[in-house]
Amino acid sequence: MLSKLLKKTEVKKNLTISVIGTAAGQLIHLGTTPIISRIYSPELFGQYSLFLSFLGVFTAISLCKFDLAIIAVEDDEVSFFRKILFKLSVLTTLISTIVLIFLYFTDSGNILSFLFLTLTIPVSAKYWMHRSILNKSKLFKNLSIGKVLENSSNGLIAIGLGLMSLKDIGLFAGKFFALLFSWLYFRIQSSKLYLKKSILPPKDILKKYINYPKYSFPAELVGQLNLNTIIFIFAYLFSPLEVGLIGLTTRVMSVPANFVSISFLDVFKQKSMQDFKDTGSFRTIFIKFFFALSAIAISMITVIYFTGPSLFNLVFGNEWGKAGIYAQYLCFFYAIRLVTGPLAYALEIVNKHYINLIFQCLYLITGVASILGTFYITGDDLLCIKVYSFSLFILYAIHTTVAFKYSKKVS
């Protein structure tokens, strides 16, 4: 079905490479999770989920969305953004180090996660920078290899350290080394790309792409907060057990969402940007991707909604059974995000960055309000998840509709 929707040979080839590589990486990620869930307790998994949430926020700050700008800039301008991103990663690491020192003197229980956070932030920023350079060069095969390397090393290191009775650091170390190995691979592959410097003054280059830090960065930052809202609020409202359960749920539900979003987005970015430069319109590719993504989303909802609780009990063990009930209702949210994630990039192409920012703010406000409001009325964690998922489902559908509107030829 997908091959019929995507008739252009280059798009089909790039998408196939991206899908295969990302699928392999996500299958490794999913395959190691049942082992990890039997080594690490829900409480430890809750701490790791908080670590990942903070890492997403700090990484967004260290990039300021300039990694996305790399795909759109001229070849001789890439070196300028390499320098910008290096300085931003140093600044963000400094902030994290200050927090770490504060936690050390206050004897906080979160010091271990912030220690690994401080180490991981610069690696994560460089990982995404070099990933964008390879994306710009259409090196989707290398991107796929990097994703497999990341997920396999993450799972194996976490499992190995857990079996060696190093459970306190196992999950954190797994993520750190996974990003480190992938970044080093991406760096080697991109080391000889785009080394020529632009004749334009740095001020003019920055002004030329100012909308990325001005609108896309706030949208990405709010988006990271929105993505991790449920983890942060559950950590505030409920016990470490519930945080661990929701952490595993988001880890598992993110597999199909990340698999599709990453593999489709890489190709959609490059192809839609090229169509827009050539013709001023990319509606055709938008529609094709919409139908392909929607078919996957419907399949995802069907499987998880009807088999979620029994599937989680079977795969991850009896102590994780309630996570399957969480997944049963969160699948609607993850399915629509799977569709909207890649297609919302349409607004970046037509320079309507502020619209994505507006929607990300709406997602955050709606997500926080739905969970807090439901909790203070009922105190029921499951009902909080239901209201959260269905509220955001409606907003994401509206976001996709708006993105579609701007995909047609500009008059």
Judge whether 146 and 24 are in contact, CB under 8 Å. no
- pLDDT score at 109: 63
Residue 110, helix vs strand vs coil = coil
Residue 243 CA to residue 46 CA, distance in Å, equals 5
33-37, 109-113, 254-258 — most confident range: 33-37
Q: Return the higher-pLDDT residue of 193 and 370.
A: 370
Decide if pLDDT at 6 tops 50. no
Decide if pLDDT at 235 tops 90. no
Decide if pLDDT at 270 tops 80. no
Q: Return the higher-pLDDT residue of 232 and 99.
A: 232
Q: How confident is the model at residue 411 (pLDDT cuts 50, 70, 90)?
A: very low
Judge whether 138 and 193 are in contact, CB under 8 Å. no
- pLDDT score at 19: 66
- What's the average model confidence in pLDDT over 227-251? 85
Question: To the nearest whole percent, how much of the chain has pLDDT over 90?
Answer: 21
- pLDDT score at 1: 43
- What's the average model confidence in pLDDT over 162-189? 91
- pLDDT score at 328: 92
Decide if pLDDT at 248 tops 60. yes
- Taking only Cα atoms into account, the Rg of the chain, rounded to an integer number of angstroms, comes to 21
Residue 367 CA to residue 385 CA, distance in Å, equals 10
Q: How confident is the model at residue 159 (pLDDT cuts 50, 70, 90)?
A: very high
Decide if pLDDT at 173 tops 60. yes
Residue with tokens 């095969």: 141
**Mean pLDDT of all residues in the chain?**
83
Q: DSSP states of 129-190 as a string?
A: HHHHHHHHTT-HHHHHHHHHHHHHHHHHHHHHHHHTT-HHHHHHHHHHHHHHHHHHHHHHHH
- What's the average model confidence in pLDDT over 284-292? 88
Q: Return the higher-pLDDT residue of 12 and 84.
A: 84
Judge whether 59 and 122 are in contact, CB under 8 Å. no
- What's the average model confidence in pLDDT over 368-380? 92
Q: Which helix (H) or strand (E) covers residue 331, if one does?
A: helix 321-343
- What is the amino acid identity at position 9? T
Residue 121 CA to residue 399 CA, distance in Å, equals 30
Q: Is the whole-model pTM more than 0.85?
A: no
112-116, 189-193, 257-261, 340-344: least confident range = 257-261
Q: Return the higher-pLDDT residue of 394 and 133.
A: 394
- pLDDT score at 402: 92
- pLDDT score at 8: 52
Judge whether 236 and 376 are in contact, CB under 8 Å. no
- pLDDT score at 408: 76
Decide if pLDDT at 410 tops 70. no
Decide if pLDDT at 170 tops 80. yes
DSSP 76: G
* Residue 287, number of CB atoms within 10 A of its CB: 14
* Residue 87, number of CB atoms within 10 A of its CB: 10
Decide if pLDDT at 211 tops 70. yes
Q: How confident is the model at residue 251 (pLDDT cuts 50, 70, 90)?
A: confident
- pLDDT score at 108: 62
- What's the average model confidence in pLDDT over 134-155? 85
